[in-house]
Amino acid sequence: MIFENLKPKVVNLLTATDKTREEKLLDLCQLLSDSISYYNWVGFYFAQAETKTLHLGPYVGAPTDHTVIPFGKGICGQVAESNQNFVVPDVSAQDNYIACSFTVKSEIVVPLFVNGINIGQIDIDSHVIDPFTELDERFLEFVNQEVSKLF
């Protein structure tokens, strides 16, 4: 199972002592993008509670204009408010969706908690309709648990 094989790689990458947090997160995005065929855009957004906005962090994939997203707007903004995973099998069926690219067919967003506070999220876009399963959710929850140790 690819997710089980990736877990030790995620841990090793995030515990490296010779890189900054930003470099580790970028390397993590690259690892996930390279390892899972349907992870076509992988990135982090971080919350600014005072302004109720999400700000783009490290990512791998096509450039995006969505560097700041208000809470409640799009899939990422909804996760910032709900504190729940959000899997979108087909983005064309979502009313509150911010289109990044016509190539994006589905999306998964998993919140990142530090000390019980939602400080951001990992966001993954796919060029495939409905590729994400519960295994993706559990794996990305594991990834975020490991990422939370950097904060």
Residue 80's CATH number: 3.30.450.40
Average pLDDT over all residues of the chain: 94
Q: Domain of residue 112: give its range.
A: 2-148
As for how many domains the chain has, the answer is 1
Tokens of 91: 């983005």
Check residues 100 and 135 and name the one with the higher pLDDT: 135
Render pLDDT for 86-108 as a digit per residue (tens, 0 to 9): 999 998 887 666 666 678 899 99
Q: What is the pLDDT of residue 99?
A: 61
Round to whole Å and give the CA distance between 55 and 53.
7
Task: Give pLDDT tens digits for 1-27.
Answer: 799 999 999 999 999 999 999 999 999
Alpha helices by DSSP H, 15-117: 21-35, 74-82
Look at residue 148 in the predicted model and tell me its pLDDT.
98
Residue 4 structure tokens? 């089980």
Q: Is residue 107 within 8 Å of 124, Cβ to Cβ? A: yes
